């Protein structure tokens, strides 16, 4: 809005452009190049056109079958963890203590899993879930469950999902908490005066205010879970069989395990395209939210809240009437 047009700003952006282009554009061009060729080793390449892509999208071939199966597993995984992490994250955010040293303590403990190297996250759960030396596996087996994530597909899935919930629910919770904190106290006071129930407060005040952060959380979690690699790889290695082989694991198997450059490159491009589409949605949402934020920021000057801010709660609470 109030930004001035200045083409010289490109000079300021140039370093970023060069660094990222070096790491992104050059490798991506290699990928495009490979995706059209076949190799029999010795650096000899043969033109293959769109052959790999055809094979990739055809479930009857080996490559296509593997790709589509891992894609399906990955989508299922993403949906399951979203269905668990988002509600759980909201509940945890709502359970945050209000003030005092406990707030900081909770924040730090919540953030702890987010800062652990991903392979160590895998290692932690690998150890924790083992029936012989891990607390979880031991207790479950002692209780009579035949739990073994190495041999049983269902147990492997449960382990990978619980691990992801453990690893990333905090992110949803922290984002929601940040959203909750931005709600002015006046909203709650108005709700109290109106005698609104807790549920009404949640539905009419907290949820709408968390909308934006929730959207960010869902999209971030979707994208990150869609490209998950290290954690399940360390815990299950993609097994038993192929039951927890997600797209990234399949890709690395083909690219670095078999050195099937053409196939891997074609898979990479399709994979990247999916991410790019989701990313575009994410970007649109975020920039719209950014505009909203700037409008809000400009309407309230740096000083104390204006009278209009105190009046705002009333319209925000209107939907309450039906509930109360």
Positions in 266-295 near other proteins (CB under 8 A): 268, 271-272, 275-276, 278-280, 282-283, 286-287, 289-290, 294
How far apart are alpha carbons 201 and 212 in whole angstroms? 18
Residue 251 C-beta: closest distance to other proteins, Å: 5
Cis bond leading into 240, ω under 30°?
A: yes
CB of 231 to other proteins, least distance (A): 10
Site size toward other proteins (CB under 8 A) is: 110
Q: Is residue 2 at the binding interface for other proteins, with CB under 8 A as the rule? A: yes
Single residue of 83, 112, 281, 295 touching other proteins by CB under 8 A: 112
Q: Which is nearer to other proteins, 60 or 195 (CB)?
A: 195
CB of 52 to other proteins, least distance (A): 14
Binding to other proteins, residues 295-324 (CB under 8 A): none
Site string for other proteins, 169-188 (x = CB under 8 A): xxx--xx-xxxx-------x
Nearest to 226 by CA among 188, 261, 273: 273
For residue 191, state whether it binds other proteins (rule: CB under 8 A): yes
SS3 of 38, please?
Answer: strand
Report the b/e string of 58-92 with b at 16+ CB within 10 A: eeeeebbebbebbbebbbebbebbbebbbeebbeb
Q: Which is nearer to other proteins, 48 or 248 (CB)?
A: 248
CB of 237 to other proteins, least distance (A): 11
Does residue number 211 form part of the binding site for other proteins (CB under 8 A)?
no
Nearer to other proteins, 68 or 138 (CB): 138
Name the minimum Å distance from CB 104 to other proteins: 6
Residue 10 Cα distances to 5, 96, 163, 200, angstroms:
11, 44, 43, 49
- Report the C-alpha gap between 93 and 171 in whole angstroms: 10
Least distance (Å) between residue 182 CB and other proteins: 8
Please tell me the total number of residues recorded for the chain in this structure.
Answer: 324
Evaluate whether 169 touches 81 at the Cβ level (below 8 Å): no
Comparing CB distances to other proteins, the nearer of 195 and 307 is 195
Q: Maximum CA pair distance of the chain? A: 78
> 316: closest CA among 214, 212, 198, 191?
191
Compute CA 301 distance to the chain's CA centroid, rounded to the nearest angstrom: 35
Helix (H) or strand (E) run with residue 196 in it: none
Residues 226-245 that bind other proteins (CB under 8 A): 226-227, 229-230, 234
Residue 210: CB minimum distance to other proteins, A: 11
Q: Which two tokens stand for residue 215?
A: 């959207």
Can residue 81 be called a binding residue for other proteins (CB under 8 A)?
A: no
Which of 75, 82, 86, 107 is close enough to bind other proteins by CB under 8 A?
107
Question: What residues form DSSP beta bridges with 38?
Answer: 46
Residues 85-104 that bind other proteins (CB under 8 A): 88, 91-92, 94-98, 104
Is residue 252 part of the contact set for other proteins (CB under 8 A)? yes
Contacts of 230 (CB under 8 A, 6+ apart): 118, 119, 121, 122
> Helix or strand or coil: residue 303?
coil
- Write out the binding residues for other proteins, residues 19-48 only, by CB under 8 A: 19-20, 22-24, 26-28, 30-31
d(CA 254, CA 226): 18
Residues 118 to 157: which contact other proteins by CB under 8 A? 118-120, 123-125, 127-128, 132-136, 138
């Amino acid at each position: 809005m109030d930004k001035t047009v200045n083409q010289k700003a490109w000079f300021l952006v140039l370093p970023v452009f060069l660094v990222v282009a070096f790491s992104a554009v050059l490798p991506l061009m290699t990928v495009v190049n490979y995706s059209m060729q076949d190799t029999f080793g010795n650096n000899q390449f043969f033109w293959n056109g769109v052959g790999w892509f055809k094979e990739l999208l055809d479930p009857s071939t080996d490559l296509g079958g593997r790709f589509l199966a891992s894609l399906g597993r990955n989508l299922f995984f993403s949906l399951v963890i979203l269905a668990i992490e988002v509600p759980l994250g909201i509940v945890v955010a709502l359970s945050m203590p209000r003030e005092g040293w406990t707030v900081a303590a909770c924040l730090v403990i919540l953030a702890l899993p987010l800062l652990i190297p991903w392979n160590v996250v895998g290692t932690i759960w690998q150890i924790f879930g083992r029936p012989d030396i891990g607390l979880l596996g031991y207790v479950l087996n002692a209780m009579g469950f035949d739990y073994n994530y190495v041999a049983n597909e269902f147990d492997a899935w449960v382990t990978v999902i619980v691990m992801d919930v453990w690893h990333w629910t905090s992110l949803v919770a922290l984002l929601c908490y940040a959203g909750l904190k931005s709600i002015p106290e006046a909203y709650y006071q108005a709700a109290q005066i109106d005698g609104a129930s807790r549920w009404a407060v949640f539905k009419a005040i907290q949820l709408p205010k968390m909308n934006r952060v929730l959207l960010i959380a869902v999209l971030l979690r979707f994208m990150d879970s869609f490209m998950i690699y290290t954690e399940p790889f360390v815990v299950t290695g993609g097994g038993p069989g192929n039951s927890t082989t997600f797209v990234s694991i399949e890709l690395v198997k083909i690219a670095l395990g078999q050195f099937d450059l053409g196939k891997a490159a074609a898979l990479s491009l399709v994979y990247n395209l999916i991410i790019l589409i989701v990313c575009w949605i994410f970007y649109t949402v975020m920039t719209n939210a950014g505009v909203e934020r700037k409008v809000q920021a400009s309407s309230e000057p740096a000083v104390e809240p204006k009278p209009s801010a105190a009046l705002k709660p009333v319209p925000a609470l209107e939907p309450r009437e039906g509930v109360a």
